[in-house]
């Protein structure tokens, strides 16, 4: 006899884990929730990304979306902990005089949404981060940001889920091999270890979400991989305490710049991002490049990251680099994640396509999706993220 | 632990360095880790999270348990040969 | 500018231990230009560690086989081989080895690569093993034979396999009292090694030499015993020892405490295959040879054209195997370059030594029950301070693969890149002692190097 569940979440990355956590909280007590991943929990993108919690003030909606999520991270730390949560704040840096004016631009964006970022002069910057180069022309400091270790955060979310609902069943190393359909409904999934029937299936497969949608006979989802090259130093060598970002980041990272994801020869965007780790190491990124699922290191781009990191924190030149690798961000073609039902197939839900903000946005994503499944009003306006927008 | 040297005449010059401010006498060709072990100082680093004392484990550059800071650079104590006047500090969590 | 930091050679050899030296010497004798990259300070590798020039060496007793080591070292030093000591090889592809030496970034370009990276000690976590003063059996030998440092006053030697014998004799010749020497295997299990010893005259002489040394020092090897834990205030002061069953499971009722100030632990060796994996070489899990090993054909060729592997990287076998395989790999390359056929005796010797080593090591395959020594609060990953309890929680939630455990608790992600915890991590975290470790993933940098080294790497 086939197994049954109330909800199946496919994809055990940060988004899938957040969906499981919030469904465990909002669905009726005792609901059977199964999380499936073909590999480990947190074994793919969530183990190869950076860990920033970052409020993005591009517009009122984005600000509410990211700021609410960052608050939820603080709540998870309070309730569960164990994921190296560190509310470091973020320093937006510049060394190009042309970029200095961006401090005020970004500061105004924060102010427009009732939030606050401070412009630091050279002396204030040196007081806050003595390890930075002394010739930097100040910085923009936003206190609300922070850093987590995503792979441990996945575990924290699942522990929370199990506390709310002991019927949460986490099954790593269990590939989904097919989707079970009945007319215009999804009724379950086929796994390598048998079929599981359920009324709801959530696709949280990140860059692999289109693959799962195709299994259900659905058109290709508008999500493409955007590669990043990363490096991490040894322990207790980092000269920094705060998350550092080049302010030029806002020119092309999440909202602003025009990019063409169909170009696989994309030369790649780049802005330095550095995060202190709880073991005293330092994570160095980040680059952006469309080149399919290729995970070989782009040495030229990695070198640019290392050079920029040294430019801002000269002490890093002698820091031992322990590992370098490539992670793939799930880039959505209209730059907004897909969160909600997929109308052509009743019972199929999507939570994917967060590009570089998946860690930041996972708690609010899990919340919005759980609220929709439970038929509740949503915490913030969820319509900009409804996947149905791509069906028009 | 009261360690010392094998018996016999040692023809090597004495090399002195500082370990967390303390003067340590070694012999040319010693590594930092071996010089400190011979001087009765097997703890070289504080572990990354707990800050517990750690010392040489593999003595051949594999385990990174003997990390020390030499003149500002984090290096493996078992691979770093001593130099006169070198400033060595305990590695790891401070 | 970077042109000055490029070295060209016919053959690049990784490692100046017995295998690398034997290969390099033979290649140079055939007139090939050979560059050897080695992380150590002097040639010899771990087994033939040399004291720094001028250090007193009279006290150290050496087994008969070390005569081969001295002959090889002499031949190697007299040859035209260029040895680059203190070289950390951090990136590789066929014909290209990038290395850091004295803080400078270098590239070795060569037609052929011979991998002779050797092995490192297999560590099995037990309570207190992170205390300063607990070191590997290999580390103890390096201390005595390589630096002339006396490890302590009262030593405990624990572990399994033939390497316990040189560890004990090194301690004895350094004047250390060996309070106990504990071999976890039972005497009966060890008897399986007999055919490998009796069938090989050199190995038999070696065994008898060690037997006499132990007898003269009054040290008796205790079969079926091991360490249950170590304690002390910031350093080793006491150890609890006891008997284990045939699978290595501790029999807690036999525990007793002894006072020691140094503990040498040697539970066998693990092949160093990271460079081979990065080069794309095929590997195979061979538990009796220490774990994942590089696959080579009858002439030491790996699956990647132009890349050869010899000695421990192809499976633990000891110095005699490494030397014979090093000569065989050299002969295969000389045949390609000079057209000279491979002497039948060279190939035969390599096969014979490997066979004898396999027969010997079968008796000391890792005992799965030793994974029960660790307690929930015992650190298993020393780099990231991960306890057994946390590793188990990671396996329970994230999955039972090596990668799942790593991402679930960060074990194996520190500077040693799982070389120390990796071989036991999966068995420990899954609570299934027979779980073999997944193949590790190799990525550049193979070992940590400075950011500057990566940035200044000469382009191929």
Q: How far does B17 lie from chain A, in Å, by closest CA?
A: 21
Please give the Cα distance from B22 to C86 (Å, whole number). 27
Q: Which residues of B touch A278 (CB under 8 A)?
A: 49
In a domain, A351, yes or no: yes
Domain that holds residue C165: 123-267
Q: Rounded distance, CA A225 to CA C216, Å?
A: 68
Q: Does B64 touch chain A (CB under 8 A)?
A: yes
CB distance C450–A297 less than 8 Å?
no
Q: Which of residues 41-60 of B touch C (CB under 8 A)?
A: 42-44, 47-50, 52-60
**Which C positions 379-408 lie with beta carbon below 8 A of chain B?**
379, 382-385
Q: Which residues of C touch B77 (CB under 8 A)?
A: none
CB–CB of B11/C54 below 8 Å? yes
Chains in touch with C (3+ beta-carbon pairs under 8 Å) read A, B
Q: What is the pLDDT along chain C (460 residues), one digit of tens a residue?
A: 556 899 999 999 999 999 999 999 999 999 999 999 999 989 998 888 888 888 887 778 888 888 889 999 999 999 999 999 999 999 999 999 999 999 999 999 999 999 999 999 999 999 999 999 999 999 999 999 999 999 999 999 999 998 999 999 999 999 999 999 999 999 888 888 887 777 778 888 888 999 999 999 999 999 999 999 999 999 999 999 999 999 999 999 999 999 999 999 999 999 999 999 999 999 999 988 999 999 999 999 999 999 999 999 999 999 999 999 999 999 999 999 999 999 999 999 999 999 989 988 888 888 999 999 999 999 999 999 999 999 999 999 999 999 999 999 999 999 999 999 999 999 999 987 767 678 877 889 999 999 999 999 998 8
Asked if residue C32 and residue C81 are part of one domain, the reply reads: yes
Are A362 and A349 in the same domain?
yes
> Which of the listed residues C242, C267, C292 is the one where a domain comes to its end?
C267
Nearest to C449 among A42, A172, A321 (CB): A321
Largest interatomic CA distance in chain A: 70
A45 and A157 share a domain? yes
Say if A192 falls within a structural domain.
yes
> Is there a single domain that holds both residue A271 and residue A297?
yes
Residues C341 and C396 in one domain: no
Interface of A with B in 312-371 (CB under 8 A): 318-320
Q: Is residue A75 part of a domain?
A: no
| Spatial CB neighbours of B88, under 8 Å, sequence gap ≥ 6 | B17, B18, B19, B20, B24, B32, B36, B68, B69, B70, B77
Boundary residue ending a domain (A332, A352, A383): A332
Instruction: Work out the average pLDDT over B33-60.
Output: 96
Last residue of a domain, one of C237, C267, C297: C267
Distance CA C353, CA C116 (A): 16
Whether residues A234 and B49 touch (CB distance < 8 A) is answered with: no
C252 is a domain residue: yes
Alpha-carbon distances, residue A383 vs A300, A387, C137, C285, C327 (angstroms): 40, 9, 64, 53, 71
Sign of CA dihedral B41, B43, B46, B51: negative
Taking any CB pair shorter than 8 Å as contact, residues of chain A touching chain C are: 37, 39-43, 46-47, 149, 151-152, 154-155, 158-159, 170, 172-173, 231, 233-235, 279, 297, 302-303, 306-307, 309-310, 316-325
pLDDT value, residue C361: 86
* Residue C239 shares a structural domain with residue C339: no
CB contacts of B67 in chain A (<8 Å) are 234-235
CB spacing of B64 vs C134 below 8 angstroms: no
Query: Which of A236, A278, A318 is opposite residue B73, by nearest beta carbon?
Result: A318
Q: What whole-number distance in Å separates Cα of residue C96 and Cα of residue C111?
A: 8
Count of domains forming chain A: 2
Instruction: Work out the pLDDT band at B2, boundaries 50, 70, 90.
Output: very low
* First vs last C-alpha separation in chain B: 24
Is C300 among the domain residues?
yes
3-state secondary structure string, chain A? CCEECCEEEECCCHHHHHHHHHHHHHCCCCCCEEEECCCCCCCCHHHCCCCEECCCCCCHHHHHHHHHHHHHHHHHHHHCCCCCCECCCEEEECCCHHHHHHHHHHHHHHHHCCCCCEEECHHHHHHHCCCCCCCCCCEEEECCCEECCHHHHHHHHHHHHHHHCCCEEEECCCCEEEEEEECCEEEEEEECCEEEECCEEEECCHHHHHHHHHHCCCCCCCEEEEEEEEEEECCCCCCCCCEEEECCHHHHCCCCCCCCCCCCCCCCEEEEEEEECCCCCEEEEEEEECCCCCCCCCHHHHHHHHHHHHHHCHHHHHCEEEEEEEEEEEEECCCCCEEEECCCCECEEEEECCHHHHHHHHHHHHHHHHHHHHCCCCCCCCHHHCHHHHHC
What's the token pair of residue C296?
């080579």
Nearest to B49 among A237, A279, A318 (CB): A279
Residue whose token pair is 């947190």: A42
pLDDT tens digits, residue range B10-44? 899 999 999 999 999 999 999 999 999 999 999 99
Asked if the structure places residue A138 within a domain, the reply is no
- Report the top-level CATH class of B14-92: alpha beta
**Residue of B23, B42, B40, B8 lying closest to B82 (CA atoms):** B23
Report the alpha-carbon angle C135-C45-C192, nearest 5. Answer: 70
State pTM to two decimals.
0.95
Is C236's CB within 8 Å of B1's CB? yes
Position C204 scores a pLDDT of: 86
Helix (H, G, I), strand (E, B) or coil at C237: coil
Identity of the residue in B74, B92, B93 whose CB atom sits nearest the CB atom of A320: B74
Chain B residues closer than 8 Å to C123 by CB: 57
Which residue's structure tokens are 């970029």? A99
CB contact under 8 A, A158 and C399: no
Q: Are residues C169 and C199 in the same domain?
A: yes
CB contact under 8 A, B48 and A319: no
Smallest CA–CA separation between A232 and chain B, in Å?
A: 15
Exposure of C436 by Cβ count < 10 A (0-12 exposed, 13-18 middle, 19+ buried)? middle
Residue stretches of chain A with pLDDT short of 50? none
The CATH number of residue A317's host domain is 3.30.9.10
Q: Are residues C158 and C249 in the same domain?
A: yes
Residue to test with chain B: of A84, A320, A321, A323, most B Cβ within 10 A: A320
Domain ranges of chain B: 14-92
Pairing of strands B87-92, B67-70: antiparallel
A266 is a domain residue: yes
| Same-domain check for residues C331 and C316 | yes
Is C460 an interface residue toward A (CB < 8 Å)?
A: no
Residues 34-53 of B with CB under 8 A from A: 48-49
Interchain CB contact of C449 with A (< 8 Å): yes
Q: Which two tokens stand for residue C204?
A: 């038999």
CA distance C343 to chain B (A): 35
Indicate whether A383 belongs to any domain.
yes
Contact A218, A25 (CB under 8 A): no
Give residue B1's pLDDT: 38
Find, among B60, B59, B78, the residue nearest to B68 by Cα. B78
Question: C436 lies in a domain?
Answer: no
- The CATH number assigned to the domain holding C254 equals 3.50.50.60
Give Cβ neighbours of residue A195 (< 8 Å, ≥ 6 apart): A2, A3, A180, A188, A189
Of B54, B62, B64, the CB nearest to C120: B62
The set of chains that have 3 or more CB pairs under 8 A with B is A, C
Same domain, A184 and A266: no
Q: Which chains contact A through at least 3 pairs of Cβ atoms less than 8 Å apart?
A: B, C
Interface test with C, best of B29, B33, B43, B92 (most C CBs within 10 A): B29
Residues C83 and C143 reside in one and the same domain? no
Q: Give the DSSP letter of residue C146.
A: I
Q: Which residue of B has its CA nearest to C50?
A: B29
Q: Where are the alpha helices (DSSP H) in C79-231?
A: 137-141, 147, 164-173, 187-190, 194-198, 201-217
Give the burial string for C63-74 (b: 16+ CB within 10 Å, else e): bebbebbeebbe
Q: Which of C48, C54, C102, C139 to mutate to test the interface with B (most CBs of B within 10 A)?
A: C139
Q: Would you list the DSSP string of C364-418?
A: GPPPGGGGGS--TTSEEETTTTEEHHHHHHHHHHH-SSHHHHHHHH-TT-STTTT
Q: Is C450 on the interface with A (CB under 8 A)?
A: yes
Which chain C positions have a beta carbon within 8 Å of B29's beta carbon? 41, 51-55, 147
| Smallest CA–CA distance from A320 into chain B, residue | B74
Q: What is the ipTM of this complex?
A: 0.96
Residue at a domain's end among C301, C334, C361: C361
CATH number at residue A189: 3.50.50.60
Gyration radius of chain A's alpha carbons: 21
Domain termination residue (choose one: A310, A332, A354)? A332
Domains in chain C: how many in total? 3
- Domain residues for A294? 123-133+224-332
Which of A154, A303, A318 is nearest residue C450 as measured by Cβ atoms? A318
């Amino acid at each position: 006899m086939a197994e049954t569940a109330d909800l199946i979440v496919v994809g055990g990355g940060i988004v899938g884990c957040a969906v499981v956590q919030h469904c465990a909280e909002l669905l009726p007590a005792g609901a059977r929730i199964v999380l499936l991943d073909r590999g480990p929990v947190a074994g793919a993108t969530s183990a190869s990304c950076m860990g920033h919690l970052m409020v993005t003030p591009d517009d009122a909606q984005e600000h509410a979306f990211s700021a609410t999520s960052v608050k939820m991270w603080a709540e998870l730390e309070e309730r569960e902990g164990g994921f190296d949560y560190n509310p470091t704040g973020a320093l937006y840096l510049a060394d190009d005089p042309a970029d200095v004016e961006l401090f005020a631009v970004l500061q105004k964006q924060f102010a427009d949404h009732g939030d606050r970022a401070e412009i630091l002069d050279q002396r204030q910057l040196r007081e806050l981060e003595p390890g930075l180069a002394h010739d930097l022309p100040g910085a923009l400091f936003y206190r609300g940001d922070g850093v987590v270790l995503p792979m441990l955060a996945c575990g924290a979310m699942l522990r929370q889920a199990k506390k709310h609902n002991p019927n949460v069943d986490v099954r790593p190393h269990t590939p989904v091999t097919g989707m079970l359909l009945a007319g215009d409904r999804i009724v379950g999934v086929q796994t390598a270890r048998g079929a599981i029937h359920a009324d709801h299936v959530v696709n949280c497969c990140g860059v692999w979400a289109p693959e799962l949608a195709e299994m259900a006979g659905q058109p290709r989802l508008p999500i493409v991989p955007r590669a990043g090259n990363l490096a991490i130093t040894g322990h207790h060598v980092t000269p920094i305490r705060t998350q550092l970002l080049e302010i030029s980041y806002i020119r092309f990272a999440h909202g602003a710049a025009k990019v063409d994801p169909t170009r696989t020869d994309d030369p790649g965007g780049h802005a330095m991002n550095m995060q202190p780790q709880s073991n005293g190491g330092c994570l160095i990124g980040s680059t952006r490049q469309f080149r399919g699922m290729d995970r070989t290191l782009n040495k030229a781009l990695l070198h640019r990251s290392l050079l920029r990191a040294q430019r801002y924190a000269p002490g890093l030149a002698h820091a031992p680099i322990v590992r370098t690798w490539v992670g793939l961000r799930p880039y959505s073609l209209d730059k907004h994640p897909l969160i909600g039902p997929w109308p052509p197939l009743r019972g199929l839900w999507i939570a994917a396509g967060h590009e570089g903000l998946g860690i930041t946005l996972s708690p609010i994503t899990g919340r919005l999706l759980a609220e929709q499944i439970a038929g509740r009003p949503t915490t913030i306006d969820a319509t900009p993220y409804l996947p149905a927008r791509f069906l028009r | 632990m009261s360690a010392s040297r094998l018996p016999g005449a040692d023809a090597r010059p004495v090399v002195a360095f500082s370990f967390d401010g303390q003067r340590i006498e070694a012999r040319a060709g010693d590594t930092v880790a071996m010089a400190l072990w011979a001087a009765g100082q097997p703890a070289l680093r504080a572990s990354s999270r707990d800050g517990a004392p750690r010392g040489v484990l593999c003595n051949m550059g594999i385990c990174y348990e003997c990390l020390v800071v030499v003149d500002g650079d984090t290096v493996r104590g078992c691979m770093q040969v001593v130099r006169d006047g070198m400033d060595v500090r305990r590695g790891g969590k401070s | 500018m970077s042109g000055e930091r490029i070295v060209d050679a016919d053959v690049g050899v990784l490692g100046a231990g017995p295998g690398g030296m034997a290969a390099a010497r033979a290649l140079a004798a055939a007139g090939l230009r050979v560059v050897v990259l080695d992380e150590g300070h002097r040639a010899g590798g771990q087994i033939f560690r040399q004291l720094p020039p001028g250090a007193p060496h009279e006290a150290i007793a050496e087994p008969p086989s070390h005569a081969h080591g001295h002959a090889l070292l002499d031949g190697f030093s007299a040859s035209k081989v260029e040895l680059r000591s203190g070289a950390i090889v951090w990136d590789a592809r066929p014909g290209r080895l990038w290395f850091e030496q004295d803080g400078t970034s270098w590239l070795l370009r060569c037609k052929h690569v011979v991998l002779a990276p050797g092995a490192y000690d297999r560590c099995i976590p037990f309570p207190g093993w992170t205390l300063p003063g607990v070191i590997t059996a290999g580390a103890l030998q390096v201390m005595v034979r390589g630096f002339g440092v006396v490890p302590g006053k009262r030593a405990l030697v624990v572990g399994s396999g033939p390497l316990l014998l040189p560890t004990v004799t090194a301690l004895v010749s350094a004047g250390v009292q060996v309070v106990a020497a504990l071999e976890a295997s039972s005497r009966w299990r060890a008897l399986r090694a007999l055919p490998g010893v009796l069938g090989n005259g050199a190995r038999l002489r070696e065994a008898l030499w060690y037997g006499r040394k132990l007898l003269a020092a009054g040290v008796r090897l205790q079969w079926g015993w091991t360490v249950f834990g170590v304690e002390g205030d910031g350093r080793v002061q006491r150890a609890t020892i006891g008997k284990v069953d045939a699978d290595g499971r501790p029999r807690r009722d036999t525990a007793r405490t002894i006072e020691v100030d140094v503990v040498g632990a040697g539970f066998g060796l693990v092949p160093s295959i990271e460079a081979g994996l990065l080069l794309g070489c095929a590997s195979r899990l061979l538990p009796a040879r220490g774990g994942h090993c590089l696959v080579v054909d009858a002439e030491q060729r790996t699956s990647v054209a132009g890349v050869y592997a010899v000695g421990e990287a192809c499976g633990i076998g000891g110095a005699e195997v490494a030397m014979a395989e090093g000569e065989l790999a050299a002969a295969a390359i000389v045949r390609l370059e000079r057209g000279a056929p491979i002497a039948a005796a060279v190939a035969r010797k390599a096969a014979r030594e490997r066979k004898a080593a396999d027969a010997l090591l079968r008796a000391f395959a890792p005992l799965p029950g030793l994974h029960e020594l660790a307690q929930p609060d015992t650190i298993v990953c020393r780099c990231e301070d991960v306890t057994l309890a946390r590793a188990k929680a990671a396996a329970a939630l994230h999955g039972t693969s090596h990668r799942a455990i790593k991402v679930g608790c960060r074990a194996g992600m520190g500077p040693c890149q799982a070389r120390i915890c990796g071989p036991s991590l999966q068995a420990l975290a899954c609570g299934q002692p027979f779980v073999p470790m997944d193949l590790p993933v190799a990525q550049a940098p193979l070992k940590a190097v400075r950011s500057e080294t990566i940035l200044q790497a000469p382009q191929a």
